[in-house]
Amino acid sequence: MNIICDKSKLIEGINIALKAIPGKSTMAILECLVLEVKDNIIKLIANDLEIGIETTIDGQIIEEGSVAINAKVFFEIIRKLPSDEVTISVDDNYVMNISGGKAKFNISVKPTEEFPFLPQIVKNNNITISQFSLKEVIRQTVFSISDNENTKVMTGELFEVKGNKLKVVSLDGHRISIRNIELKNSYDEVSVIIPGKTLIEISKILNGGMDDDVNIYFTDKHALFEFENTIVLSRLIEGEYYKIDKMLSSDYETKLTVNKKEMLDCIDRTTLLIKESDKKPVIIDIKDDSMGFNMNSSIGSMNEEISAIKEGKDILIGFNPRFLMDALRVIDEEEITIYMINPKAPCFIRDKEESYIYLILPVNFNV
Amino acid sequence: MNIICDKSKLIEGINIALKAIPGKSTMAILECLVLEVKDNIIKLIANDLEIGIETTIDGQIIEEGSVAINAKVFFEIIRKLPSDEVTISVDDNYVMNISGGKAKFNISVKPTEEFPFLPQIVKNNNITISQFSLKEVIRQTVFSISDNENTKVMTGELFEVKGNKLKVVSLDGHRISIRNIELKNSYDEVSVIIPGKTLIEISKILNGGMDDDVNIYFTDKHALFEFENTIVLSRLIEGEYYKIDKMLSSDYETKLTVNKKEMLDCIDRTTLLIKESDKKPVIIDIKDDSMGFNMNSSIGSMNEEISAIKEGKDILIGFNPRFLMDALRVIDEEEITIYMINPKAPCFIRDKEESYIYLILPVNFNV
């Protein structure tokens, strides 16, 4: 192999591939990325078996070839080269020579036989969504996946396509986050569970452009995300997702409209009195046109009141403050509406169009 | 107690006092700061027994008093209050009421009887130095203290005053850092060892202004730093400092003048091939008018050459790359001069006026 390429473009490419490099692995080959120069294309490939990434970069190809190199070592060396141009060659003994300016590195690399290349995916069933929408919808839901591997389905997110609607759902047993997005086109029905960790890594790679599209292809076992020079392949989580429609309700006894930032700041202040191990609820007292927040802990107590517009009954209800904050932080609207039935029933934060629904279970408390 | 003060000024004051709050302590009282309102002054006091801090803030005093409160809880609450003005009062049951805007906190506080107040220091022997010079001299030397508590003297820095000269020295057995500073006035002779940890905390508090002075008072057991609204009291390390003059030498066989940044960047690149546990030297090959850098490790090898101006003999010499980098990073000059005798003798990086001297021991290596 022998190529010459632009340092900044190579760094960009490695940075993308690094998202599929595990922090520590018992298999050294998984800590490697494959540099594949073939058919006039320079490709970087990484695969931690949950998520696989291929990305291409521009460059001048003098000789083709393919080797595996420790991804982090490669990244650090390229990043610190003193020149804008990088020359990479590999000799027959699998020694890679990396040179830029007067700096010359010789690094042992590996053949690619042991490397788990990405499987070929039949590109039938797909949808198209803007990078912006995909990045946003992940941010707005992924916080309420569970990290408990015993309930595997909860560690992923439901992606459900019906016609021109995409519904994304996550839940962890205490709360449900739902986002409904309108797509530009109509598609066949799809219902898959994508691992939350994959989605987090994908959202880091996405530039978030409104005008840049992502094609997502679905098979029985995989979802393939294709955008710009990059493809990301994720395994799907097997099993059936929860029937969330049964858990939703449009009944309410109390409907409250409130300034989101004021509410978020109040709850944030109540958490100052909670030590890490504590599980103290914030007690919310809705009376007339005010919303009061109360916290009592071993450190002390706090209370604060903000104004709100109420329809229906007064209510005194307790919540895990972090769950409320997680939802409020990803809602972009200035004003939000909260629907409650009683102190034991789930509360709903949702907009009229149901473009978002956040269900949060209340917690018991002693007054 | 009952005071009203400006939130931002209070935050600034707590931030200073926090530098003397230990991360974790078995004595809960050390995690507290004392808020003391007396003689028309609002004072914040913290003391972890190595370093003690007192700082005053402006405010409106309605009633005097003095209590101890967990410093981190206090800081977080004040920082997140929704208003610019803070009202603090303490009732007879040692409950502190903190209010700002509509937010009200009630926090249990403690009486100050158990708190280790700072001892009174007789202010005789002192020097004056600008905040800028003190902050700089700490940065330029403190990296080469030892963290080995068995050689206590090495965990501190020598501050030696003779006439209008201040010499600051640190060493760890492998290297010595020396800075010589001219003071505006002449003073009595002083020679004390100040704990490195204290100096690090002080340099965080110093604003670094050229025109802002620090008075440093010395006693047998303490150094007291006085600046703006703050005093910092540090214990001294007992014992005698090393006789460093004997270790210095102006002989050399090779004198090399080189661009500092080029040299630093080269050495930085050699370290990319060192795993954490490794202790691989960078081998420097000085020949004619060039300086070559070589590194060999289990990951691979690297070499790079830069131009340099040499007087005297060629030399091949090995160093711990980190030690060279630490020294180069705190030298502000664009060009530096390095003096070497042979591959087993210490090398010196120093300027003509000896405003700085960095001695670094070479390491053995196999070619």
CB B192 within 8 A of CB B225: no
pLDDT of residue A367: 63
> Rounded distance, CA B332 to CA B334, Å?
7
- Is the CB of residue B278 less than 8 Å away from at least one CB of chain A? no
- Is the CB of residue B102 less than 8 Å away from at least one CB of chain A? yes
Predicted complex ipTM exceeds 0.95? no
A273–B102 C-beta distance less than 8 A = no
Burial of A85 (0-12, 13-18, 19+ CB in 10 A): middle
CB B194 within 8 A of CB B203: no
Cβ-Cβ contacts under 8 Å, B75 against chain A: none
- Is the CB of residue B264 less than 8 Å away from at least one CB of chain A? no
How far does the CA of residue B363 sit from the closest CA of chain A (Å)? 23
How far does the CA of residue A367 sit from the closest CA of chain B (Å)? 17
Amino acid, res. B234: S
pLDDT at A276 over 80: no
Contacts with A58 (C-beta within 8 Å, 6 or more apart), sequence order:
A5, A6, A9, A42
Pull the structure tokens for residue B50: 């190595």
Under DSSP, the state recorded for A353 is T
> Rounded distance, CA A329 to CA A140, Å?
9
Backbone angles phi, psi at B9, to 5 degrees: -70, -35
How far does the CA of residue A234 sit from the closest CA of chain B (Å)? 31
> Rounded distance, CA A161 to CA A168, Å?
9
Amino acid, res. B333: E
Residue with tokens 């090779």, as numbered in its chain: B254
- Is the CB of residue B104 less than 8 Å away from at least one CB of chain A? yes
> Rounded distance, CA A327 to CA A319, Å?
12
> Rounded distance, CA A358 to CA A175, Å?
7
> Rounded distance, CA B255 to CA B340, Å?
6
Backbone angles phi, psi at A219, to 5 degrees: -130, -170
Q: Looking at chain B, list the stretches that DSSP marks H as alpha helix, in order from N- to C-terminal side.
A: 7-17, 71-79, 131-139, 196-205, 260-270, 321-329
> Rounded distance, CA A208 to CA A203, Å?
8
Pull the structure tokens for residue B282: 């960078």
CB B48 within 8 A of CB B28: no
B103–A300 C-beta distance less than 8 A = no
Pull the structure tokens for residue B272: 């990319």
How far does the CA of residue A77 sit from the closest CA of chain B (Å)? 6
Kind and range of the H or E run holding A201? helix A196-205
- Is the CB of residue A333 less than 8 Å away from at least one CB of chain B? no
- Is the CB of residue B307 less than 8 Å away from at least one CB of chain A? no
Backbone angles phi, psi at A35, to 5 degrees: -100, 110
**Which among B105, B265, B303 is the nearest to A300, CB-wise?**
B105
- CB count within 10 Å of CB B35 equals 27
pLDDT of residue B344: 95
Per-residue pLDDT of chain B (367 residues; tens, 9 = 90+): 999 999 999 999 999 999 999 988 889 999 999 999 999 999 999 999 999 999 999 999 999 999 999 999 999 999 999 999 999 999 999 999 999 999 999 999 999 999 999 999 988 888 999 999 999 999 999 999 999 989 999 999 999 999 999 999 999 999 999 999 999 999 999 999 999 999 999 999 999 999 999 999 999 999 999 999 999 999 999 999 999 999 998 899 999 999 999 999 999 999 999 987 778 999 999 999 999 999 999 999 999 999 999 999 999 999 999 999 999 999 999 999 999 999 999 999 999 999 999 999 999 987 6
B299–A273 C-beta distance less than 8 A = no
A106–B302 C-beta distance less than 8 A = yes
Burial of A247 (0-12, 13-18, 19+ CB in 10 A): exposed
pLDDT of residue B23: 86
User: Which residue in A has a C-alpha nearest to residue B94's C-alpha?
Assistant: A300
**Which among B80, B82, B265 is the nearest to A272, CB-wise?**
B80
> Rounded distance, CA A253 to CA A291, Å?
16
SS3 call for A308: coil
Under DSSP, the state recorded for B119 is P
What is the number of residues in chain B?
367
Kind and range of the H or E run holding A268? helix A260-270
Cβ-Cβ contacts under 8 Å, B105 against chain A: 269, 272-273, 300-302
Under DSSP, the state recorded for A242 is P
Query: Tens digit of pLDDT for each residue in A92-104?
Result: 999 999 999 999 9
pLDDT of residue B367: 63
Burial of B4 (0-12, 13-18, 19+ CB in 10 A): middle
- Is the CB of residue B268 less than 8 Å away from at least one CB of chain A? yes
Cβ-Cβ contacts under 8 Å, A109 against chain B: none
Q: Which of B266, B274, B337, B271 is nearest to B305 (CA)?
A: B266
Share of chain A above pLDDT 90, in %: 94
pLDDT of residue A296: 94
Pull the structure tokens for residue B141: 């030397």
CB A90 within 8 A of CB A97: yes
How far does the CA of residue A105 sit from the closest CA of chain B (Å)? 4
Least confident of A18-27, A338-347, B31-40: A18-27
DSSP code string of A119-178: PP----EEEEEEHHHHHHHHHTTGGGS---GGGGGGGEEEEEEEEEEEEEEEE-SSEEEE
Share of chain A above pLDDT 70, in %: 100
- Is the CB of residue A261 less than 8 Å away from at least one CB of chain B? no
State the count of interchain CB pairs (< 8 A) between A and B.
Answer: 81
- Mutation pick from B76, B104, B110, B302 vs chain A, by most beta carbons of A within 10 Å, is B302
3-class secondary structure per residue, B262-287: HHHHHHHHHHHHCCCCCCCCEEEEEE
CB B217 within 8 A of CB B161: no
**Which among B70, B95, B300 is the nearest to A108, CB-wise?**
B300
Question: What residues does A319 pair with on adjacent strands?
Answer: A282
Label residue A275 by pLDDT band (50, 70, 90): confident
Under DSSP, the state recorded for A214 is E
Query: Tens digit of pLDDT for each residue in A133-184?
Result: 999 999 999 999 999 989 999 999 999 999 999 999 999 999 999 999 999 9
A300–B106 C-beta distance less than 8 A = yes
> Rounded distance, CA B68 to CA B96, Å?
10
Burial of A335 (0-12, 13-18, 19+ CB in 10 A): middle
> Rounded distance, CA A79 to CA A76, Å?
5
Full set of structural domains in chain B with CATH: 2-108 (3.10.150.10), 125-243 (3.10.150.10), 248-360 (3.10.150.10)
Contacts with A273 (C-beta within 8 Å, 6 or more apart), sequence order:
A280, A295, A296, A297, A299, A300, A301, A302, B73, B105
Question: What residues does A320 pair with on adjacent strands?
Answer: none
- Is the CB of residue A82 less than 8 Å away from at least one CB of chain B? yes
Backbone angles phi, psi at B329, to 5 degrees: -65, -30
B81–A107 C-beta distance less than 8 A = no
A269–B300 C-beta distance less than 8 A = no
